[in-house]
């Protein structure tokens, strides 16, 4: 935002004078600032290195599978590139459960308070710029960067798979991989919205960053431990439990675990990348009657994870709406 004030005051020149709205000017400037920042370059290197390592390990296993299997109609080769592992290195979608929040937090923890500390926020607001455009540009620019990054990695993965194996990608695989990319962007968007909210709430960038990391650690490490301890304290003696009681307590634990964004992301990505998964919970014998051991169509898998995907979208929008409300009522001259 250092030169953004001069950009607003410059008049278009030339025979065809085009007008660009202040919003898209700010989006372009934010994208350029992110690309030139060292923290984004470091995180980009980590994500690319993780993707390369997980894909290289999976590629070695996939080439052996392709050599043994003649009919590749239901092999789902490109889905296995994102889920196959030898045990030494987790799959890529599991890595993203760890790196995704860090990427979102790093892109937004100083979005507003850093501008206020440098004194550029008042200068920007002195121009014909609305507050909502400023806040929205911070959010949209980061999502454009993240979406471009994961879409590019997806194209590289598909291209390398075609070159090394010679197997063409199926339409259902394309839909599942694109859905996986969308879920990743939404998941990172949640942590981005949280970090922007904290950057509005706290005046110091270090405070907002530490608070966001603390929330991430709570949901990643401690939340599951707390839920298990609380639920187990209400469970009677194991000898007195019936199958119905065990099923009910497991359902309570799963419902409480789905309040964590990381669990929603894990459920959604696992179901989309593994067509063999038919349910996110245990199935009764009545539900298994007549079921065929075959992969689910994409539409059926999407219906299973639709509550998780819609939940991630809803909490992301809610966080941004709360940020908008607080920022619109905040005094920025002090």
**In this predicted model, what pLDDT tens digit does every residue of 218-256 receive, in sequence order?**
998 888 888 888 877 777 665 666 666 677 777 788 888
Taking alpha carbons only, the member of 98, 159, 134 closest to residue 4 is 134
Contact by Cβ (8 Å): 133, 15: no
Res. 165: pLDDT tops 70: yes
Distant-in-sequence, close-in-space partners of 279: CB < 8 Å, separation ≥ 6: 287, 304
Res. 13: pLDDT tops 70: no
Res. 15: pLDDT tops 80: no
Per-residue pLDDT averaged across 329-333, rounded? 73
Distance between CA atoms of residues 67 and 158, nearest Å: 18
Tracing tokens 């004194």 back to the chain, one arrives at: 119
Q: b/e for 318-334, b at 16 or more Cβ within 10 A?
A: ebbebbbeebeeeeeee
Q: Which tens digit of pLDDT belongs to each residue from 196-217?
A: 999 998 888 889 999 999 999 9
Q: Which tens digit of pLDDT belongs to each residue from 102-145?
A: 999 999 888 888 888 887 777 877 777 778 888 899 999 999 99
Per-residue pLDDT at 185: 93
Convert 266-294 into a string of H (helix), E (strand) and C (coil). HHHHHHHHCCCCCCCCCCCHHHHCCCCCC
Q: Give backbone dihedrals phi and psi of 91, rounded to 5 degrees, phi first.
A: -65, 165
Convert 58-110 into a string of H (helix), E (strand) and C (coil). HHHHHHHHHHHCCCCCCCCHHHHHHHCCCCCCCCHHHHHHHHHHHHHHHHHCC
Res. 49: pLDDT tops 60: yes
Tracing tokens 């937090």 back to the chain, one arrives at: 105
């Amino acid at each position: 935002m250092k030169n953004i004030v001069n950009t607003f005051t410059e008049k278009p020149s030339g025979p065809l004078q085009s007008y660009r709205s202040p919003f898209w000017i700010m989006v372009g400037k934010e994208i350029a600032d992110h690309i030139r920042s060292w923290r984004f370059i470091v995180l980009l290197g980590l994500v690319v290195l993780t993707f390369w390592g997980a894909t290289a390990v999976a590629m070695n296993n996939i080439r052996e599978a392709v050599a043994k299997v003649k009919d590749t109609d239901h092999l789902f080769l490109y889905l296995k590139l994102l889920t196959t592992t030898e045990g030494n290195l987790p799959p890529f979608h599991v890595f993203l459960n760890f790196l995704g929040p860090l990427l979102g937090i790093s892109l937004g923890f100083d979005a507003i308070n850093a501008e206020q500390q440098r004194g550029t926020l008042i200068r920007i607001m002195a121009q014909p710029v609305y507050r909502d455009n400023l806040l929205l540009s911070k959010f949209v620019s980061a999502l454009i960067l993240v979406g471009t990054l994961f879409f590019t990695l997806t194209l590289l993965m598909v291209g390398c798979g075609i070159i090394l194996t010679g197997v063409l990608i199926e339409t259902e695989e394309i839909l599942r991989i694109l859905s996986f990319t969308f879920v990743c962007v939404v998941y990172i968007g949640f942590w981005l919205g949280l970090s922007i909210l904290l950057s509005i709430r706290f005046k110091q960038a270090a405070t907002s960053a530490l608070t966001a990391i603390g929330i991430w650690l709570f949901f990643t490490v401690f939340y599951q431990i707390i839920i298990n301890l609380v639920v187990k304290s209400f469970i009677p003696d194991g000898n007195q439990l019936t199958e119905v009681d065990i099923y009910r307590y497991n359902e309570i634990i799963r419902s409480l675990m789905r309040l964590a964004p990381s669990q929603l992301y894990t459920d959604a990505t696992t179901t989309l990348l593994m067509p063999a998964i038919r349910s996110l919970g245990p199935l009764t014998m009545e539900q298994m009657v007549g079921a065929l051991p075959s992969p689910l169509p994409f539409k059926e898998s999407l219906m299973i994870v639709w509550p998780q995907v819609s939940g991630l979208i809803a909490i992301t929008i809610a966080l941004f709406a709360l940020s908008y409300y607080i920022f619109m009522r905040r005094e920025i001259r002090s």
